[in-house]
Amino acid sequence: MCGIVGYVGHRDCSDVLVNALSHLEYRGYDSAGIAVFENGDISVAKTKGKLINLTEKMKKEGKPKGIAGIGHTRWATHGEPSDINSHPHSGAKVTLVHNGIIENYKELKDFLIKNGRTFVSDTDTEVVAQLVDHYYDCINDPIKAIIRTTQDLRGSFALGIIFKDFPDTVFAIRRESPLVIGVGEGESFIASDVPAIIEYTKNYYLLEHDEIAVLSKDGIKVYDSHYQPIVKTLKTADWDVNAVGKCGYPHYMIKEINEQPTAIKNTVTPRIKDGMPDLSECNIDPDFLRKVKNIFIVACGTAMHSGMVGKYVMEDIARTPVTVDIASEFRYRNPIISSGDLIIIVSQSGETADSLAAMRLAKSKGAKTLAIVNAMGSTIAREADMLIYTHAGPEISVASTKAYMVQLSVMYLFAFQLAYAKGTIDEQKYKYYTSKLLETPDLVKDVIESTTEMAQKISTQLVSADSLLYIGRGLDYALSMEGSLKLKEISYIHSESYAAGELKHGTISLITPEMPVIAVATQSALYEKTVSNIKEVKARGAKVIMICKESDNVGEDVADFVLKIPNFEEILLPMLVCVPLQLIAYYTSVQRGNDVDQPRNLAKSVTVE
């Protein structure tokens, strides 16, 4: 977590850093700070809280003036959010910003204290600043000092470093945590992610582990960990500045909900050839699929919920056993996997620490790995054996919506191909499913329009609830999980998702008239069963909100509010049903006056365990 930026160029550096940080706040917003070369010295401005606090502070006290510097937005790990613990941190001649965690910071701190150093903060980052300073004192060469420092560090880091003795020069290095180097006209950038710099340049280098970049008025130089110069390949982002702006929407979340039809189109359409999915450019060989024995889908949070939908679909149509695992559990439970198995890692950011570790574990056990990732060039994308990029574009709201939607669309593409390869569906069915998937962008658009009003109405019912339940069976249960997570993370209302048939084994005792129940019942084969479960909660006083198909006749004895979605191929309905679930969460959060895009305690890119 945390976002770091750096700039060397001709513009007002404070403005560039603050603007770039505004696109990285999704990575954390416990504090913000910048350090800029000013009149031969380094000026630091930092404060706890969101970036807006920093801009307010600089309005009152003045902003550092210069053309080169570094900046940071924090998700606190070591030390509470406070002014003192805010980045940048400094030694005598060195100031730096850090994204990641230094696991052995305690022993390094002891070493530095023994060497006469004192500390002002509780952070692991200040230890790095003092260590670079210490080695710079000894070696007197900034790059050698950085290399020597990183030899001592255990953990993950992306660092932006400036030295008093090297004005208007920014040094950067990374291990595990991501970092890109932006290449502009007469200016250069560092950033944790491309959206931070897209307003200035679309061209960038991806820094690899332990590579060091030096940005100065002479341009960009990159060295390997032996201080040998290296030549990097220039990459170009294929989206524009609108992708990182709100474009008139009040929040990124609602903008991103509305971007879903386009995101599906971008993800699915290029992969259809002759009416069938073709994943050969993703290195997926139908012959390999035919032989796959077990599939594990491993991910965290929303990404894991897309895997739940994938499991139901793959098991149903491809008759292949699929286990869905939370990455943080999978990696430590000594899972039984072997070379005939496929591990699918799903991740929007491609940097989630637990998902990455799970993938590495699977590889070490000889299994093949397939990554479904949104962030281009991210670590998970680079290390997987097979890779399907989702093309959602940058997702900025912390609560994931469009990334989930395209993860679902890829689950279908993959499931259809798996089923065809295994011979559990014939060509006609294969083409039929594919043609239905191609209809989803337009349908999702319609559903956004047709369900918004009802979602708003429902949210007024939820706004003062303390707790609620989401229930469903089969695919509807998988969706309930995501609906519940979405609501709780942005509205701060406690909610649980439950398999509808499981309620009576304990949880039903929670039901009171004060506890709304959102029931999802879109699968014909399970409809009556779910309705029975709904009646059980209704009989105990619950207010029921039901999501079902247009053709379902729902009496008042079943539900107090009914939200209908179009009749459509049932296996694909999750792509439609997730829309009102997103909208209900969104409007509830708005009505509660919450910060929808930056909910408390969260960050989007979870690069710590």
Query: Which residues of this protein are in contact with ligand F6R, per CB under 6 A?
Result: 300-303, 347-349, 352, 355, 399-400, 489, 606
Please state, in angstroms and rounded to a whole number, the distance separating the CA atoms of residues 16 and 21: 8
- Residue that the structure tokens 């319609």 belong to: 446
Contact 346/406 with Cβ under 8 angstroms?
no
Nearer to ligand F6R, 14 or 177 (CB): 177
Both tokens assigned to 137: 């004192």
Nearer to ligand F6R, 180 or 515 (CB): 180
How many C-alpha atoms does 59 have within 13 Å on its Cβ side? 6
Nearer to ligand F6R, 8 or 413 (CB): 413
Catalytic residue among 2, 13, 282, 548: 2
Nearer to ligand F6R, 375 or 419 (CB): 375
Return the residue nearest ligand F6R (CB atom): 301
Report in angstroms how near the CB of residue 51 gets to ligand F6R at its nearest: 20
Q: Is 604 a catalytic residue?
A: yes
Please state, in angstroms and rounded to a whole number, the distance separating the CA atoms of residues 111 and 245: 46
Q: What share of the chain is helix, strand, coil (3-state, %, to 5)?
A: 40, 25, 35
Q: With residue 45 as reference, give the H or E element that holds it.
A: strand 41-48
Q: Counting Cβ atoms within 10 Å, is residue 372 exposed (0-12), middle (13-18) or buried (19+)?
A: buried
Please state, in angstroms and rounded to a whole number, the distance separating the CA atoms of residues 135 and 311: 52
Residue 338's beta-bridge partner residues? Answer: none
Report in angstroms how near the CB of residue 257 gets to ligand F6R at its nearest: 12
Of 415, 391, 400, 446, the closest CA to residue 263 belongs to 391
Nearer to ligand F6R, 86 or 302 (CB): 302
Report in angstroms how near the CB of residue 304 gets to ligand F6R at its nearest: 7
Mapping DSSP to helix (H, G, I), strand (E, B) and coil, where does residue 120 land? Answer: coil
- Residue that the structure tokens 């280098």 belong to: 205
Q: Is 578 a catalytic residue?
A: no
Mapping DSSP to helix (H, G, I), strand (E, B) and coil, where does residue 343 land? Answer: strand
- Residue that the structure tokens 């969104």 belong to: 586
Q: Which amino acid is at 200?
A: Y
Report in angstroms how near the CB of residue 322 gets to ligand F6R at its nearest: 19
Mapping DSSP to helix (H, G, I), strand (E, B) and coil, where does residue 53 land? Answer: helix
Catalytic residue among 50, 109, 549, 604: 604
Nearer to ligand F6R, 64 or 307 (CB): 307
Q: Residues for the chain: how many in total?
A: 609
Report in angstroms how near the CB of residue 156 gets to ligand F6R at its nearest: 15
Q: Which long-range contacts (CB under 8 A, 24 or more apart) does 459-462 make?
A: 459/584, 459/586, 459/587, 459/588, 459/590, 459/591, 460/591, 461/516, 461/543, 461/545, 461/560, 461/561, 462/487, 462/491, 462/493, 462/516, 462/584, 462/588
Report in angstroms how near the CB of residue 362 gets to ligand F6R at its nearest: 15
Residues 6+ apart with CB under 8 A from 557: 535, 538
User: Alpha carbon of 345 to those of 269, 337, 366, 592: distances in Å?
Assistant: 22, 14, 15, 35
Nearer to ligand F6R, 76 or 559 (CB): 76
Report in angstroms how near the CB of residue 33 gets to ligand F6R at its nearest: 25
Peptide bond into 88 cis (omega under 30): yes
Nearer to ligand F6R, 302 or 533 (CB): 302
Q: What is the DSSP letter of 208?
A: P
Report in angstroms how near the CB of residue 307 gets to ligand F6R at its nearest: 11
Q: Which residues are catalytic?
A: 2, 604
